[in-house]
């Protein structure tokens, strides 16, 4: 299980640090990703949090999407303590976690927190690289 946990962290770290002006530092003992070293948008609890030993990612989200995801997959998505009031969502990083959906959530979280100029840079880079034309909210099932 330790390998799976580090694999999730590696995926999340790689994606977060590929976004414009993102940095990583520990916050409350967990790897946390910030836009311009100010606003956090993702935190990863590799060894779980408090009484749960399940690896978790907490990220910025909007309340509508959070309600949808929690309704569709309550075994994966949850309201994290301390940050749920800001609309954040928790994701249990287990074998059943869809990695593409996780990647969409990370980018979506960045878009919610980043200044418009950085979102525009991300969109321009995507168009230039012909990787994707538009990223929207993570897909609904």
Instruction: Tell me, yes or no, whether 54 lies in a domain.
Output: yes
Residue in this structure with the two tokens 């990787």, named with its chain if needed: 131
Instruction: Tell me, yes or no, whether 136 lies in a domain.
Output: no
Which strands, in side-by-side order, build the sheet including 77-78?
A: 22-27, 30-35, 39-45, 56-59, 89-92, 77-78
Instruction: Tell me, yes or no, whether 66 lies in a domain.
Output: yes
Considering its fold, how many domains does the chain have in total?
A: 1
Residue ranges of alpha helices (H) inside 21-96 are 63-72
Give the angle 60-74-16 at the CA atoms, nearest 5°: 30
Cα–Cα distance measured from residue 85 to residue 122, given in angstroms and rounded to the nearest whole number: 27
Instruction: Tell me, yes or no, whether 47 lies in a domain.
Output: yes
Instruction: Tell me, yes or no, whether 6 lies in a domain.
Output: yes
pLDDT class for 35, splitting at 50, 70, 90? very high
The pLDDT of residue 1 is above 60:
no
Domain of 122, CATH number, reads 3.90.1150.30
Instruction: Tell me, yes or no, whether 139 lies in a domain.
Output: no
Domain span at residue 90 reads 2-129
pTM: 0.85
Query: 32-36, 71-75, 114-118, 136-140: lowest mean pLDDT where?
Result: 136-140
Burial of 114 (0-12, 13-18, 19+ CB in 10 A): buried
pLDDT class for 132, splitting at 50, 70, 90? very low
């Amino acid at each position: 299980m330790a390998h799976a946990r580090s694999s999730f962290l590696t995926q999340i770290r790689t994606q977060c640090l590929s976004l414009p002006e993102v940095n990583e530092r520990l916050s409350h003992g967990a790897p946390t990703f910030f836009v311009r070293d100010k606003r956090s948008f993702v935190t990863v609890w590799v060894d779980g949090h408090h009484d749960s030993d399940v690896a978790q990612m907490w990220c910025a989200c909007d309340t509508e999407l959070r309600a949808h995801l929690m309704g569709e997959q309550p075994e994966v998505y949850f309201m994290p303590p301390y940050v749920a009031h800001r609309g954040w969502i928790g994701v249990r990083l287990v074998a059943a976690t869809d990695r593409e959906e996780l990647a969409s959530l990370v980018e979506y979280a960045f878009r919610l927190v980043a200044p418009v100029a950085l979102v525009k840079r991300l969109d321009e880079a995507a168009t230039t690289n012909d990787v994707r034309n538009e990223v929207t909210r993570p897909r609904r099932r």
